[in-house]
A and B are shown apart, each in its own frame.
Chain A
Amino acid sequence: MAHGPAKGIGRWLRATNHKDIGTMYLWFSFTMFLLGGFFAMVIRAELFEPGMQIVKPEFFNQMTTMHGLIMVFGAIMPVFVGLANWMIPMMIGAPDMALPRLNNLSFWILPFGFSLLASTLFMPGGGPNFGWTFYAPLSTTYAPPTVNFFIFGIHIIGASSIMGSINIIATILNLRAPGMTLMKMPLFVWTWLITAFLLIAVMPVLAGAVTMMLMDINFGTSFFNAAGGGDPVLFQHVFWFFGHPEVYIIIIPAFGVISAIIPTFSRKPLFGYSSMVYATAAIAFLSFIVWAHHMFTVGMPLAGELYFMYATMLIAVPTGVKVFNWITTMFRGAITYETPMLFAIAFVILFTIGGFTGLMLAIAPADIQYQDSYFVVAHFHYVMVAGALFSSTAAVYYWIPKWTGRMYNEAMGKVHFWVSFVAFNVTFFPQHFLGLAGMPRRYADYSLQFADWNMVSSIGAFAYGASQLLFLYNVIATIVAGRKISDPKVWEGAEGLEWTVPTPAPYHTFSTPPAFK
């Protein structure tokens, strides 16, 4: 156990160390983030002005589809798995993940899966062009032939998520240091326990959905074909039974990150710890019974519309508990505004805006107006970007000193934050106006009255994209030449086992269970 990392590429290919695997997840995720971001830049460049300038409409459809798929499955989900790999064993006093070899398998599936998915862009017929939600019959009867690669790609990516989640659950339930009861775990660990449960519950349903597509396309079944007695709407039910919990799979670990950062920089313990745990569990439970709020316009019976409307609104209660607790944690705290804290505060504000627009969308009669408009695009980017991405960026700034033993450049971090914060809002706030004015999503062109706000949105998007290169530079500069630090407790107000081990964290953190009060 005393030995350090192996030399050369074998260290990464043959890895069983949770820190190495976590690092690979983080870099893979950032690579996918840049690729998905590049697709977003293509989209915003085309929408800079009305009319078709840069790409053909068919390619535009592939860009919106791939942007969504890559960002959801390739960037956001893996970044939190990377953080889980790095932090959970250190936070609970474990030597490593419970199943280290399975852990490496979970990671290495991803490069194969995403290479397959991305390579479809260069195949005859082009890549997936049916939107990241791949509704039938667009994704079945009218799909390009490459849809089969998409289907099998989703299968192995899903297998990776399931194996990763099994590993995380086994680690948390089985490898905690003596004395760390469930209700003493850091909230990040709690949120991942719940997220892993959600993943194991819904990734198989996604596998079922793509399997049904595969059979309809190639083997003559009629799941989604009314001519055979099936129903295209069935696809939407199966997909969103996966898809709504998926949204929380993305955001719940973000809650954990924010619940670690805000107490540190407020120099106060987290307010309402147990209510945070219960609220997270309540959100996870509700996520299973609200899926059809994504489908208010498909012609559901009235009773269904009402049920899904009210059930969805219930989610605001536990979410409100969380936001209340974060704000109350800051209340009368000795707050300092380092980069992670700035991103965390921005998270609380912007995620709340995304939550409020979600509440608007939950109202079935109103949603019939908003459905498939840019209002929806603005809503979920407030949750996905300002929620999931801001929190994972905050997490990197927060923990990178512990990972590397080097401090990032605070001034550059602050510049990154302010450019991101302003550019994000310039990009997505106007999309609320566009949507309310009636601009539909996923079109390559638009009517002239939408021109001004689209140009503003595109300028914001370019600035947001550029600011991420600054982030990349800051991270590399920290690893290569950051100011060395050695205090185990990098941040004055930080609490928890991960801050008791040396900085940088040794290759093997704990070889015997640490004492935990």
Chain B
Amino acid sequence: MASESSYYVPENSWIPVLTATSLGSMALGAGLFVQGKTPLILLAGVTLLACVLFTWFSTVIGENMRGMTNAQVKRSFTMAMGWFIFSEVMFFAAFFGALFYVRVLAVPWLGGEGEKAMTNSLLWQGFSAQWPVMQTPDQVLGGTKFVGPHENMGFPGWGKVLEWLPLWNTILLLTSSWTVHIAHHAMKHGNRTRFNVFLAITVALGLAFVAVQYREYHEAYTTMGLTLKSGIYGTTFFMLTGFHGFHVCLGAFMLSIQLLRGLKGHFKPDDQFGFEASSWYWHFVDVVWLGLFIFVYVLG
């Protein structure tokens, strides 16, 4: 077996090709689903993905517990997680870039700024640039495809600051980054109870964040007229906060798996990679939120 030599190569495995099958079926199924056709292929793909990922992670955890994962392999895992988070950073960068571009350049141009005066006078006469865009160019010309919101998510003034949901969400998420750090510290010192308690608090804070965001979205759709279809403000608002919210769900799911593993006693003070990787992910989600809080809410 590989563990006897100083290098480790895993046995042949069905898991990767089945994972690829699930991704292929999800791509086909999602393409069908968004066109209003059957959701079954997408669901089958997602189910298969869940099964194979469960098996894959169980296998790796099992290998580690049997001592087959040497320090070099662990270093590979660490690097892989770090670079994966970097790729996620770049995914968010695309959407932040889109926000900066429309806000700083495209919307003022539509309003006729500088050399682009003709754009405004020939195509979108009457549109005046402002951010958030409360009235879309389409609306100014009498269109109904993109109708701007009556209210936006920006800073409501100091009088109403306590009703401002994103502030609460910032507090929740920053606290959760702190609690997950305490949990990490506790495990490093072998204090399992403290680890479990603080990890549970972290997951609860994450779920509270999702609940508050759900309420915020509900308000946006029902009372503020702010939807995906309300022009570029709604577009950037929902895509940025939506992808972030999805990552919070993913991070909370990862941490709750680690909580279950913690309860089963999987981790040791010097061997807790699964937890550490999830906590890095959690910190990353937190940092993205700070970017959102500043650029989407405070300056929005």
Interface residues of A (CB under 8 A from B): 1, 6, 10-11, 13-17, 94-96, 98-105, 107-109, 111-113, 115-116, 145-146, 148-149, 151-153, 155-156, 159, 162, 165-167, 169-171, 173-175, 200-205, 207-209, 211-212, 214-215, 218-223, 225-231, 233-234, 237-238, 241, 299, 301, 508, 510-513
Contact = CB atoms under 8 A, between A and B. Distances in A.
Contacts of B263: none
B87 interface: yes
A508 B9 contact: yes
Given A98-B80, A112-B27, 18 more contacts: A17-B9, A98-B79, A108-B20, A108-B21, A112-B21, A112-B23, A166-B84, A174-B76, A204-B90, A208-B94, A208-B95, A211-B239, A219-B228, A221-B235, A222-B235, A226-B123, A229-B136, A230-B235
Contacts of A204: 87-88, 90-91, 93-94
Contacts of A16: 9-13
Contacts of A230: 102, 106, 231-232, 235
B297 interface: no
Nearest to B235: A221
A227 B143 contact: yes
Interface of B: 2, 5-17, 19-21, 23-24, 26-28, 30-31, 34-35, 56, 72-73, 75-77, 79-80, 83-84, 86-88, 90-91, 93-95, 97-98, 101-102, 105-107, 109-110, 114-116, 123-124, 133, 136-138, 143, 145-146, 227-229, 231-235, 238-239
Contacts of A233: 106
A207 B216 CA distance: 27
Nearest to A104: B16
Given A225-B146, A229-B136, A109 B107 contact: no
A223 B234 CA distance: 10
Contacts of B86: 200-201
Nearest to B233: A229
Contact of A229 (B7, B114, B137): B137
A228 B12 contact: no
B76 A170 contact: yes
A221 B229 contact: yes
Contacts of A221: 228-229, 234-235, 238-239
Contacts of A510: 7
A105 B7 CA distance: 21
A101 B91 CA distance: 24
Contacts of B7: 1, 94-96, 510-513
A153 B14 CA distance: 22
B159 to A, nearest CB: 29
Nearest to A155: B27
B31 A99 contact: no
A238 B97 contact: yes
Given A116-B28, A226-B123, A511-B7, A220 B17 contact: no
Residue from the set A209, A220, A237 with the largest chain B CB neighbour count within 10 Å:
A220
A109 B231 contact: no
Nearest to A162: B87
Given A112-B24, A169-B79, A229-B231, A215 B106 contact: no
Contacts of A156: 23-24, 26-27
Given A148-B31, A231-B102, A101 B16 contact: yes
Contact of B76 (A6, A99, A155, A214): A99
Contacts of B80: 98-99, 102, 166-167, 170
B146 A108 contact: no
A98 B17 contact: no
6 contacts: A11-B12, A174-B76, A208-B98, A223-B232, A228-B145, A513-B6
Contacts of A113: 24, 27
Nearest to A13: B17
A152 B30 contact: yes
Contacts of A10: 12
A159 B98 CA distance: 21
Contacts of B109: 231
A238 B94 contact: yes
A257 B17 CA distance: 30
A148 B35 contact: yes
A234 B16 contact: no
